A = this chain, B = another copy of it.
């Protein structure tokens, strides 16, 4: 792209944002019934248009193959009838959830008789920046429409045609049910410049949610003047305390690491109290080896098996997202807490213990979005938490922390009702 084209691209992004803003004003006061009807129509339209969407997807896949993209990524990109059906089912599920808009968060009558209520309202315009899987396009659109927000979607360029086809279908369904189609838009333009314009559209875009790898999230956080909710990077720990049930600990560790290693709530490090290391570590290493997991251990872990790779300083900070795990022996619960504070990403950390005192100490001292006692880290998930849906998992402390469902896609406002009240 030449410099001469850039002002045009900026204008295109800002125009889309302004149209989203207009649509958001309309959407904000629509009833739950109107929004649910639109969501169900969006679901039906995806099924009706599935051949069109798959044709667009085939073009994306051809382009990816021509660029020698790995089969793993092509698998994430690929849409078939089953995956499109799952997208439609997801939208119907969101239609079944309670509408967060209008919920009274708190309310009371003040001593002077003023009635005060704090109620949930939509943000307005939400920007979602995401990678790879085109199903996020429909998921994010559904959650935003349900919560009364317009959404500006910026997917991966590798899924460009798939995303365009999905959005076209969703917009038609919105229009057919009388909702503003501009509530769901792709960010126009390609390349990083378009994202930059989105990130600088403060006042037009209320919040940006980047979903993807650490480098994507870091760049959004650094460059954006629009408020950002950070999501997803998970360097999760499992700490096996001196009083842990060791058989249970093996089962939990295996589940946390190997049940689905590519996701953010999978464990990336385990720490073992030295008092149980002799009994636990050999069993754990055997079980992990049988599950195909490579262990990157400190010297004390390595003393138990020659299969353990020597851990470097980097291992403690790495989100492997693969069948690898870092491991260390610690002298105390407090040492485990210190390790997690230093190296964790504030996503999910678990203690396995039979001691009430140890559990309480760990829960109080570990400052993560989700702190787990005697269960797998894999439970940190909007679906598992009973939220019905999830737009991402926040690893920051402002606004939302942990899995974000529909209420996390809203702000609030105060409504004050008087009878001629003035301040004395």
Contacts and interface: CB of A to CB of B under 8 A. Distances in A.
Report the contact-size class of chain A (Cβ under 8 Å from the partner).
35 or more
A423 B371 contact: no
B365 A29 contact: yes
A104 interface: no
Interface of A: 25, 28-29, 108, 110-111, 114, 116, 118, 121, 123-124, 202, 206-207, 221-222, 225, 227-229, 245, 248, 251-252, 254-256, 259, 341, 359, 363-365, 367-376, 378-380, 384-386, 396-399, 401-403, 411-423
B373 A420 contact: no
B124 A367 contact: yes
Contact of A423 (B207, B225, B373, B376): B376
Contact of A397 (B124, B222, B379): B124
Stoichiometry (number of copies): 2
B365 A255 contact: no
B110 A376 contact: no
A365 B420 CA distance: 21
A403 to B, nearest CB: 8
Given A371-B414, A386-B110, A398-B398, A341 B221 contact: no
Given A397-B207, A413-B402, A373 B251 contact: no
Nearest to A29: B364
A399 B399 contact: yes
B255 A422 contact: yes
